[in-house]
Amino acid sequence: MDTKNIYTSRPWCRLYPEDVPRSIELPQASLPDLFDKMAERYSNHIAVYFYGSKMKYGELKRQVHRLAASMHQLGVKKGDRVALYLLNSPQFIISYLAILKLGAVVTPISPVYTSQEVRHQLADSGARVVICQDILYDNVIKTEMEMEAIIVTGIADYLPPLKKALGRSLLSKVARDIEIPDIKIAYGEGVYRFKDLVGREGAPPPVKIDPQRDLAVLPYTGGTTGPPKGVLLTHYNVIATQQQTTCLWPILKEGAEVIIAFLPFYHIYGQIVAMINGFMLGAEIVLFTTPDFDDIIYAIDSRRATLLYGVPTFFEYLKEYDKTDRANWRRLKLITCGADTLHENTVISWQERTGTKIMEGYGMTETAGVSHATPLGLNKIGSFGLPIPNVDAAIVDPETNEFLPPGEVGEMILSGPNITAGYWNNPAETERTVIELEGQSWLKTGDLVRMSEDGYFYFYDRKRDLIKYKGYSIFARDIEDYLYQHPQVKAAGVIGVPDRRVGQLIKAIVVLQNEARGKVSEEDLKEYCKQGLAYYKVPKIIEFRGELPQTDVGKISRRELREELEEVE
């Protein structure tokens, strides 16, 4: 068997439990059609629970259809891109589904984006209609983009009466980068209230959608490997991810699940695993605008939650949080982690604290959120799991694209029905990233990974995060993982600093536990690293900080650390 066939034979399928299929047949349907059927089947089930406010599936469908009808009257038609510049809220779900109902395309924008970043996405996507949070309205205006319609909503619109006053305090927790301005909006021609549009009677026009050809979502990459790029995701791509992931966990039952949803919906991870997975399962989505630990811990029991999706920093902080024991974590059927590397000591400490295991996964915007996950009971510390049904994964030489045997580290490539066909208006990037090898289309992920002989996948680093020192190729993650094992290290980010003599010097930026600050020195950590790392991996520079820059989903942002270094130079 040649090396490629080792991968395309899907050796990991031998590890699947008996009730997990090697591949599945995917429905040839659109997202709004599937939602409508689920809403009819579970019309009296709670769809969204939002700080005490409850919306059933029947009511959610009614508001989706009304908003779609109103947007159609405003001129939105099939193929149009509509921007969602919203925090997690019922309005996000309603808007998302209403846009799809018209055959239009959702392009979600991060709420922490500046007006310049918003302008880039609006201009690049060609969106001329935006649905935005009232506190973000000024950012839309400052883009100076000519919009056909701006639809504005407030967080308090869907809060229960007794909690409407909490709207401003909820917003203040979302992100310290968001300033909450005094809201002065001139409603009229071109600027509309969301609640007025969903209050109008009306039915959307019938729209024929080709699931495999018509775009559903145009999310933008986070810019970790260059300027943000629009990723082409069809209805078929998105449905494929949801169906492939769900079948990996047969324990999930339609109409019976309750999902804790605090991951941001504008990000592909929260959007697919919490929101879309939620309504495709007929689940109750317990929705949070901000990941408040106390609120989440309380909701685990009060809402009888069954599913929790998180990121490493969430579990890292919760494993030490004084109120964590107040929740019955064993009630949850599934606890999963994605978006970044989950460190070994976090996994072990979490299990000791809660008696539950975290199941890891992997995905990208380009894979509609997920390509790998861990079947129940089959997790291996350090591995992000197995490819989900219908997905091929392989390891190749990053430069030559030659297939590498199991055990060797190289660039991971992916193929499957959930994988993007390319990038919006960016043929050069599409050609560089989506390649054909021996008649099969593959996505180059840019991630350095190895597959073990039995089919588990292990992440090492992004290609651009590889540090070159005196001819050695050093994975930043190896050093970070070792630093995380130090009991006084709370967080760490490792980057390469250009040096003419050796190529790059290793720099570690470290956050110490509160009690260790001023007591643990740079030399202490260097001596610690010498005990467990090869000499050439020991950081030459160590900098202490109170916090590290993070991406929107809580991942340590090495890109920002590098950019800070460039600014200093």
Lowest mean pLDDT among 169-178, 304-313, 343-352: 169-178
Q: How confident is the model at residue 316 (pLDDT cuts 50, 70, 90)?
A: confident
Q: How confident is the model at residue 346 (pLDDT cuts 50, 70, 90)?
A: confident
Q: What is the mean pLDDT of the chain?
A: 90
pLDDT of 300 strictly over 70? yes
CATH number of this structure's domain 1-18+239-464, picked from the four choices 3.40.50.12780, 1.10.238.10, 3.40.30.10, 3.40.50.1980: 3.40.50.12780
Same-fold call for 1-18+239-464 versus 470-568: no
Give residue 112's pLDDT.
84
Q: How confident is the model at residue 179 (pLDDT cuts 50, 70, 90)?
A: low
Which of the two residues, 472 and 289, has the higher pLDDT score? Answer: 289
E strands, 51-201, where?
A: 53-56, 81-85, 105-108, 129-133, 149-153, 191-193
At the topology level of CATH, where does 470-568 sit?
GMP Synthetase; Chain A, domain 3 (3.30.300)
Does CATH number 3.40.50.980 belong to domain 31-45+53-208? Answer: yes
Give residue 168's pLDDT.
55
Lowest mean pLDDT among 80-89, 120-129, 277-286, 334-343: 334-343
Predicted TM-score (pTM) of this structure:
0.86
Contact in structure between 388 and 244 (CB atoms under 8 Å): yes
- Residue 408: CB atoms within 10 A of its CB come to 13
Any idea where the domains of the chain sit in the sequence?
1-18+239-464, 31-45+53-208, 470-568
- Closest CA relative to residue 448, chosen from 476, 481, 415: 476
Distance (Å, rounded) from C-alpha 111 to C-alpha 135? 10
Arithmetic mean of pLDDT, 256-265: 96
DSSP state of 16: S
Give residue 175's pLDDT.
42
User: Half-sphere exposure of residue 352, counting CA atoms within 13 Å on the CB side?
Assistant: 9
Q: How confident is the model at residue 39 (pLDDT cuts 50, 70, 90)?
A: very high
Give residue 163's pLDDT.
67
| Token reading at 420 | 């993007």
Q: How confident is the model at residue 567 (pLDDT cuts 50, 70, 90)?
A: low
65-82 pLDDT, tens digit each: 999 999 999 999 999 999
- Closest CA relative to residue 87, chosen from 188, 180, 162, 10: 180
| Token reading at 535 | 């000499």
